[in-house]
Amino acid sequence: MYATARTEAKQTTALELGAHVALASGARLPERVDAVMETVGEATYAHSARALKPGGRIVISGATSGPNPPADLNRFFFLQLELVGSTMGTKAELRDLIAFLRATGLRPRIDRVLPVERVAEGLEAMAAGDLVGKIVLEF
């Protein structure tokens, strides 16, 4: 599994979390891949599309940098690529996920916990890419 990140510290974190190789954002991957999980959107989408093998798939589950990347349609039809959207799962999948978390002890990475009154601070951190993990808001 390859991971890309903007800073060396985030690349190190990706390795600690299980990535086999961590590269700078936009760096050329050592090989083309079967699938890319895309959560950033406009800023990284073109790189994601170029990273795919023929018949590869981009799964989009977020667009934090913007929802309108260049489509690059020629690449998609010549290489027979797939673009798949994904959001939350079904209730049954959530139950399976909870059972998995209980069985393994695995937990989501929390970057910071903020009182809801400081939500703007959390949003600014997200926009700046200044976090690794989730932001939890306390009410």
pLDDT at 81: 97
3-state secondary structure the chain: CEEEECCHHHHHHHHHCCCCEEEECCCCCCCCEEEEEECCCCCCHHHHHHCEEEEEEEEECCCCCCCCCCCCHHHHHHCCCEEEECCCCCHHHHHHHHHHHHHHCCCCCEEEEEEHHHHHHHHHHHHHCCCCCEEEEEC
pLDDT at 128: 85
pTM across the whole model = 0.79
CA distance 93 to 23: 31
**Sequence-ordered strand ranges (E) for 75-133:** 82-85, 110-115
Structure tokens at 118: 């400081």
- Structural domains of the chain, ranges and CATH numbers in brackets: 2-85 (3.40.50.720), 91-138 (no CATH)
Q: What are the per-10-residue average pLDDT scores of the chain (139 residues)?
A: 92 94 94 94 92 97 88 94 91 95 94 96 89 93
